[in-house]
A and B are shown apart, each in its own frame.
Chain A
Amino acid sequence: MTDDPRDDAALDALFQAERTRRFEPTPDFMARLEADADAALPRSVSHPQPVLRRTSWLAGVFTASGLSGATLAGIWLGFAMPESFDAFSLLADSSVELTAFLPGADMGSLFDE
């Protein structure tokens, strides 16, 4: 058994030199491993779209639908409101509604006082 520190240094030098030796797998072997990985890919999931791509797509749909929805609503209001919405007639109708809710109330006497 050697306890000489120089022997430890020599052994470390051997390790150091050996670490520089690389054992690289061949491209054929790597291709085989990739084929194995593809073949073993879990079948329960049928190659779904990537999350980021899917969310981007969804975001696009929402953005497009939001803009177009707002535009369509604006156009519809522009055309439909003048006919179906009459602010003056609403005011006139409101008094009718008020007397209906307050039977016996004499609106004229209120103003007389």
Chain B
Amino acid sequence: MDQRLSHAPDAARDVPDDALLVSYANGDALAGREMVRRLSPILFGYATRVLQDRAEAEDVVQETMLRLWKIAPDWRQGEAKVSTWAYRVTANLCTDRLRKRRGSQINIDDVAEPKADLASAVEAMTDVARSEALTEALNTLPDRQRQAVILRHLEGVSNPDIAKIMDIGVEAVESLTARGRRALKTALSGRKEELGYSDDG
């Protein structure tokens, strides 16, 4: 498909991602800019949630987009979703950085057992405290679990797409997110006393 958009920027918004990429590969600069506008905010949000660092998230997204431009001439329409491919590259780059940062993953067994029920703990928290609590709880998860949970519950990506992004089966995604949820409940319940709320007080 040789659909150029330089003459009509507004028309670019209706063009599918893969057609845009092919158009970019054929020399259409505006198609590339439209891809940046579409993909970058999504990838940046995801990378920021995973890495908890805006500067690192920017590096990861920039690297992802550079790789996208590189493969653009070889992209075959209809074989894969561009967004899924980009998510996958971003996820892998995030994993690399997390591994370097941590050196080793935190085992789910290391997470503290709950000391109180989660529902009452969450109810007592302020919005900011809730966000911080969830972020910190997410950080206790092993990398793969965290990425699966973020993709599923915060980015709203479907399980089949997560399977493609993480290069695993759908059942493995379900298992990761289920274990992630259990671990989060465990970690968050443990925060009840930490935040000053307990069953008897």
Q: A19 and B154: CB pair below 8 A?
A: yes
Q: Output the nearest chain B residue to A21 by Cβ-Cβ distance.
A: B131
Q: A51 and B35: CB pair below 8 A?
A: no
Interface of B is mostly: helix
Task: Let me know if B163 is at the binding interface, CB within 8 A.
Answer: no
Q: Output the nearest chain A residue to B25 by Cβ-Cβ distance.
A: A42
Cβ proximity bits A18-53 to B, threshold 8 Å, 1 near / 0 not = 110111110001101110111011101111111111
Q: Which residues on the A side are within 8 Å of B154 (C-beta)?
A: 15, 18-19
| Assembly CA distance A4 to B117 (angstroms) | 8
Task: Let me know if B153 is at the binding interface, CB within 8 A.
Answer: yes
Across the interface, A37 reaches (CB within 8 A) one of B29, B113, B181, B189, namely B29
Q: B4 and A17: CB pair below 8 A?
A: no
How many Å from the CB of B155 to the closest CB on chain A? 8
Q: Which residues on the A side are within 8 Å of B36 (C-beta)?
A: 30, 33-34, 37
How many Å from the CB of B159 to the closest CB on chain A? 15
Q: Which residues on the B side are within 8 Å of A49 (C-beta)?
A: 4
Among listed A5-13, A60-68, A87-95, A97-105, interface-contacting one: A5-13
Q: A51 and B3: CB pair below 8 A?
A: yes
How many Å from the CB of A14 to the closest CB on chain B? 5
| Assembly CA distance A48 to B58 (angstroms) | 32
Task: Let me know if B54 is at the binding interface, CB within 8 A.
Answer: yes
- Known A-B contacts A14-B130, A25-B40, A25-B44; the reply to A7 vs B26 at CB < 8 A is no
Task: Let me know if B194 is at the binding interface, CB within 8 A.
Answer: no
Q: Output the nearest chain A residue to B137 by Cβ-Cβ distance.
A: A14
Q: Which residues on the A side are within 8 Å of B29 (C-beta)?
A: 37-38, 41, 47
Across the interface, B181 reaches (CB within 8 A) one of A8, A25, A38, namely A8
- Known A-B contacts A4-B118, A34-B36, A37-B35; the reply to A19 vs B156 at CB < 8 A is yes
- 16 contacting pairs across A/B (C-beta < 8 A): A2-B186, A10-B118, A11-B122, A14-B122, A14-B130, A25-B44, A25-B61, A30-B36, A33-B40, A34-B32, A36-B62, A37-B24, A37-B32, A37-B69, A41-B69, A48-B26
Q: Which residues of A contact B (CB under 8 A)?
A: 1-2, 4, 6-15, 17-19, 21-25, 29-30, 32-34, 36-38, 40-42, 44-53
Q: Which residues of B contact A (CB under 8 A)?
A: 2-8, 24-29, 32-33, 35-37, 40-41, 44-45, 48-49, 54, 57-58, 61-62, 65-66, 69-70, 72-73, 113-114, 117-119, 121-123, 127, 130-131, 133-135, 153-154, 156, 181-182, 184-186, 188-189
